[in-house]
Amino acid sequence: MRNEHHGWSITELDHVPKTGINVMSTFSCGGGSSMGYKLAGCNVIAANDIDPEMAHHYKLNLKPDNYYLCPIKELLTMDLPQELFGIDILDGSPPCSTFSTSSAKRESLWGKDKHFREGQVKQVLSDLFFDYLDLVDRLNPKIAIAENVSGMLLGNAKGYTRAILRRFKEIGYHPQLFLLNASDCGVPQRRKRVFFCAFRDDLKLKPLVLNPKMEKVSVERALADIELTESEKSDCELDRPTDNLWWPLTRPGEGYHEAVLRMGLPIKLWNHIKIHPKKPSPTLTASDILSHHSEQRRLCLREFKRLGSFPDDYQTENDKIGKYLIGMSVPPRMTEVVAVAICEQWLGVNYENNKEGQDKKKSRAQRESPNQGHGRSIP
């Protein structure tokens, strides 16, 4: 389904051979993870998020049978369909901004109430992972998969990660921890994410091997067939004084701060980056601060979709919310790699039996090296 430039259509999901594996997605955002499971042939039979705007876009594009617009805590007491109990996979991507390495104040935010977006109930973001684990305990899925930022492996955040692993074990699961880069999963974006993959103890499964090393896809290659209109480019022009000053002085692949340093000034503007056409994009963020390598403008929504491995025809109410949800989502192709490995190794799916078997074989994450692929420990 992936063409030379990595464009694809959401309608293609209807034609992926089904594995019979059922998934529920929590913190489902705009459906990045859900589309990844669908690309792997899974049925996403239920989804949950607290944000009405995310719910709108999820329903608009994925048309779920069961959607729960509520805090995840409410799922712990809600009357849920019996098919969700003992489900094959319970997926979750708890909001992770308080663990992000891009926040200089991350430790000061831990344990604090915070609005994640306008219109949401205040939540303690650093507690949401444990709410997810409480739902694992209630629904008793065969497999639990949770994604978060790489900052969970750094500094004091490692204490939270140890507590999460302990909680998995307390509720009867065998967890493994993987640090993956989306660019190793065929996504034209460098995006490091931690995946907690756990199987229920009674299944007595072998350790998961997860070490994808797919061909890197550059920005130039991913966007080669996209022709933007002048109107699209105009809407994304960089016209702030900061951009007018520093964009021309910044080389492709650099951040503005490197140009500032060359001028002998105090370093600032760390997160403003001019993309390099010959490399995968830096992490797409919800704040939309990446700039084009040769045109003085931000990336446009159609470019965001490609670099985030979202389908070209994914619908959004406007460009701003589209970029936000792509920046907040797990890239579908990244989740696909994880899902294929889980389905093959832990759930007994044989992709060789369907017409896409050879493609799945090439993309699956079973390539093992002497020191990688079996998961990480937290010192």
Q: pLDDT digit string (tens) for 247-262?
A: 999 999 999 999 999 9
What token pair was written down for 215?
């061909």
| Domains along the sequence of the chain with CATH | 10-216+330-363 (3.40.50.150), 219-328 (3.90.120)
Alpha-carbon distance 169 to 163, whole Å?
10
Query: How far, in whole angstroms, is CA 341 from its chain's centroid?
Result: 16
Cβ atoms of 9 and 312 closer than 8 Å: yes
Average of pLDDT values for 60-88? 97
Q: Chain-centre distance of CA 23, in angstroms? A: 16
- By the 8 A CB rule, do 49 and 28 touch? yes
- Tens of pLDDT, residue by residue over 13-58, are 999 999 999 999 999 999 999 999 999 999 999 999 999 999 999 9
When pLDDT is cut at 50, 70 and 90, the band that residue 106 belongs to is very low
Mean pLDDT value of segment 326-332: 95
Residue 23's nearest CA partner among 15, 13, 33, 32 is 33
| Angle of CA points 9, 13, 14, to nearest 5° | 120
Residue located via tokens 């389905």:
343
Reported in sequence order, the residue ranges of the chain that DSSP labels E, i.e. its strands, are: 22-26, 43-49, 67-69, 89-92, 113-114, 123-124, 143-149, 173-181, 192-200, 273-274, 290-291
- Structure confidence by residue, pLDDT tens digits, 330-374: 999 999 999 999 999 999 999 987 655 545 544 444 444 444 577
- Gap between the Cα atoms of 79 and 331, Å rounded: 31
Contact yes or no for 100/151 (Cβ under 8 A): yes
Q: Angle between the 32-39 and 52-62 helix axes, to the nearest 10 degrees?
A: 30
3-state secondary structure 278-334: CCCECCCCCCCCEECCCCCEECCHHHHHHHCCCCCCCCCCCHHHHHHHHHHCCCHHH
From 123-137, 219-233, 271-285, the region with the lowest mean pLDDT: 123-137
If we measure between CA atoms, which residue out of 56, 59, 68 comes closest to residue 24? 68
Helices (H), 68-180: 106-109, 128-139, 157-170
The Cα-based distances of 333 to 33, 183, 197, 208, 357 in angstroms read: 9, 10, 17, 19, 16
Whether the pTM exceeds 0.95: the reply is no
Query: CA angle at residue 196 from 193 to 200, to 5 degrees?
Result: 160
Q: Compare 230 and 152 and report the one with higher pLDDT.
A: 230
Whether 172 has a pLDDT exceeding 50, the answer reads yes
Answer whether 32's CB lies under 8 Å from 330's CB.
yes
